[in-house]
Amino acid sequence: MSVTVFVKGSNDHFKVHKELGDCPSSQRIVMILRLKGVPFHQEFVDLTKKDTKKWDEFVRRTQGRLKPPVLIHGDLEPIEDADAIVGYLEETFPEPDLKSLKAQANIAGRDLYSKFALFMRNSIPDNDAKLRAALVRELKKLNEFLDKESPGAYLDGDKLKLPDCNLLPKLMHIKVAGELKGFTIPEEFEAISTYLRETHRQKAFKETFTEPVKHDIKQGWLKKMGNSMGTNSQR
């Protein structure tokens, strides 16, 4: 049975039906499919053009599920929600096994993206330093885990697993889009730098986070930030 995954397309109008966009959940699922070696077809969804034939086809094939990622496998009912898709892929394609039995690996960096989003969307200059500090604290926790508790190059050993697929899209948003507000991951967090350097050796990562995708991440955050672009603290 063929596997089709509907993912968010690029923010670029000319590439929206051709390239993966900036949705962390979509990026997560694509990474997992690549790591498992599952042949799959990507359909790129334009969330802003709901009157197009492509959108109508998306709604029809996904039975009204309106938020990618959505997975279709053969004649089975479409699966939405990234966690549900991950569970289905693990059950249906058990090899290689990407599950982690290390509890702390499964929750590593779980608050990073929410702290990052609050910082990026903030439009009140007086709050910027506090939000930046909260983000740095979460990065410090991740750095300490990678430095002291991780048994290998990644969150749970020397192979990318499900926790990495969950964390990496969010970490890449921080690394790529943080620059829009003058934020970079502090140099002293060497374990994070090593982690990202090691992931760049992995084909599943490189094929998911291409230069066009990184550009799209920035463009996506520019749209989300609005008035916060005027916040420049500590540049």
Residues 83 and 140 placed together within one structural domain of the fold = no
Average pLDDT value for the chain: 92
Query: Dihedral, CA atoms, 221, 223, 228, 233, nearest 10 degrees?
Result: 40
pLDDT score, position 228: 59
pLDDT score, position 229: 58
Distance CA 191, CA 182 (A): 21
In a domain, 177, yes or no: yes
In a domain, 34, yes or no: yes
**pLDDT band at 233, cuts 50/70/90?**
very low
Residues 46 and 108 placed together within one structural domain of the fold = no
Q: Is the pLDDT of residue 121 over 80?
A: yes
Angle between helices 162-177 and 82-92 (to 10 degrees): 140
**pLDDT band at 90, cuts 50/70/90?**
very high
Determine what percent of the chain is predicted with pLDDT higher than 90: 81
Please identify, among 66, 92, 118, the residue that sits at the C-terminal boundary of a domain: 92
pLDDT score, position 55: 83
Residues 111 and 199 placed together within one structural domain of the fold = yes
For the chain, the domain total comes to 2
Residues 224 and 150 placed together within one structural domain of the fold = yes
pLDDT in tens, 61-84: 888 877 899 999 988 899 999 999
In a domain, 123, yes or no: yes
The mean pLDDT value for 129-153 works out to 97
In a domain, 205, yes or no: yes
In a domain, 129, yes or no: yes
Distance CA 39, CA 25 (A): 19
Residues 118 and 177 placed together within one structural domain of the fold = yes
pLDDT in tens, 194-215: 999 999 999 999 999 999 999 9
In a domain, 97, yes or no: no
Residues 110 and 61 placed together within one structural domain of the fold = no
Please identify, among 65, 92, 119, the residue that sits at the C-terminal boundary of a domain: 92
Residues 81 and 130 placed together within one structural domain of the fold = no
Please identify, among 48, 71, 92, the residue that sits at the C-terminal boundary of a domain: 92
CATH number of the domain within which 134 lies: 1.20.1050.10
CATH number of the domain within which 41 lies: 3.40.30.10
0.85 cut: is pTM over it? yes
Please, which contacts does 103-107 make with residues 24 or more away whose CB atoms are closer than 8 Å? 104/145, 104/149, 105/145, 105/150, 105/155, 105/156, 105/161, 105/163, 106/162, 106/163
**Domain span holding position 186:** 103-230
Q: Is the pLDDT of residue 232 over 70?
A: no
pLDDT score, position 234: 40
Q: Which amino acid is at 162?
A: L
In a domain, 144, yes or no: yes
pLDDT score, position 235: 38
Residues 41 and 150 placed together within one structural domain of the fold = no
Q: Is the pLDDT of residue 58 over 90?
A: no
Residues 204 and 110 placed together within one structural domain of the fold = yes
